Chains A and B, each alone.
Chain A
Amino acid sequence: MESRQRGPGRLPSDVLRVDAAAEVERIGESLRRIVGLTLRRRGVIIALSGGVDSAVCAALAARALGPSKVFGLMLPEKDSSPTSLTRGRHVAEQLGIPYAVENIQPTLEAIGCYRSRDEAMRAVFPDYGDGWKSKIAIAGGAQGRFNYFKLVAQSPGGSLKEARLPLKEYLQIVAATNYKQRIRKTIEYFHADRLNYAVVGTPNRLEYDQGFFVKNGDGSADLKPIAHLYKTQVYALAKYLGVPAEICSAPPTSDTYSMPQGQDEFYFALPYDKMDLALWSHNHRIPAGELAHHLGITENQANLIYRDIEAKRNAARYLHAAPVLVDAFLAASA
């Protein structure tokens, strides 16, 4: 494949090392300034998914603003893992922050989330129905193909089926499941409005850069305090902040589909620690051969990962874009 124009850079082994104490202090100062002076709100709302990113954000906010100024939300539905709620509670109770649990399943049923999703799944697998479990998984990018999604479904008897998703069904499944993140965000802003708080978004750098979020869903927030940190660095902060061990040791999941699903399987080409290194290397123009050496893969595979990073960045442009004005009058009058 075409060779990339890259510098002679080397890939040091400790590139993702972070001074956790200093970083916690720096983010804390920023949080106080952003919430109080920039946003002029009295505290923050954080939806606790049971994962490490939201746990770290909650711990950072509780430390910077005080536990009474952080309100946690657990928003489960029928496809959520039961451990997500347990872990979310554990975080809130350990930090001493007030919180609420609101099951969003009745809202999702009323709005047609599951019905629309299952209708699209039945178009692919006509037998799909009660008792079946499913997930979608990304494919292609790491093999040098264009990215596409596969539907994986498991019958009540345990047999597995897998098929490439046609465009219409892919778009409908994504649109339906995106209801989950968007309903959650609506509830977060209800609490933010009633308390005069700001909403914290919890993406790490990998998710933010690569577009692993739902526009106007989990992508919507007033501030995103860890969006500059690689996932490896988020784990380092988690350890420093005393985030419960069961959260620090759990592999990242999407917690959106009824079958178990790792984030790497759903969206990223590699497990997070390797993906972090690949993204850092791409950002610092490290030659593919050097990355390949560190990850134990071929140079061609490393080049494909670099290309996949760019393809996902390209797809993420729309997700990041603010509403576009024909005439940007505010900027012109500033």
Chain B
Amino acid sequence: MQGVKDQVKGYLLDNFLMGGMDQDIQDETSLMDSHILDSTGFIELISYLEEQFQIQVSDDEMVPDNLDSLKNIAHFVSTKRALATSD
């Protein structure tokens, strides 16, 4: 899961904070409440996750519990990948 976190963090720092500092996004930082992502930003993030990790995010899965922090994203991506492997 640490690998997913690092990868997504790098993507967010490069693309949304334009090379921001590592400490700008902690594992539990809310990407919405901290204004790192707005609604278009979350659509961008979902596109990135789908492409990068070869997963499909359904409408019902577009919720803060899955996507609003690095911790949630890492858990969500790991679960999706595990499910895909077991299919």
Contact = CB atoms under 8 A, between A and B. Distances in A.
A314 interface: yes
A312 B42 CA distance: 13
Contact of A314 (B32, B47, B63): B32
A145 B59 contact: yes
Contacts of B60: 145
Interface size class of A (residues with CB under 8 A): 10 to 19
13 contacts: A144-B63, A145-B63, A146-B39, A148-B39, A148-B42, A148-B62, A167-B40, A167-B43, A167-B46, A170-B43, A312-B39, A314-B39, A317-B38
Interface of B: 32, 35, 38-40, 42-44, 46-47, 59-60, 62-64, 67
B47 A146 contact: no
Query: 7 nearest interchain CB pairs?
Result: A147-B39, A315-B38, A146-B42, A145-B62, A167-B47, A146-B62, A167-B43
A140 interface: yes
A167 B50 CA distance: 12
Contacts of A171: 40
B43 A314 contact: no
B47 A166 contact: yes
Contacts of A314: 32, 35, 38-39
Interface of A: 139-141, 144-148, 164, 166-167, 170-171, 311-312, 314-315, 317-318
A312 B32 CA distance: 11
Contacts of B43: 146, 148, 167, 170
Nearest to B47: A167
B73 to A, nearest CB: 13
Nearest to A315: B38
Most chain A Cβ neighbours within 10 Å, of B35, B62, B63, B64: B62
A166 B21 CA distance: 29
Q: Which of B38, B42, B44, B47 has the most CB of A within 10 A?
A: B38
B38 A148 contact: no
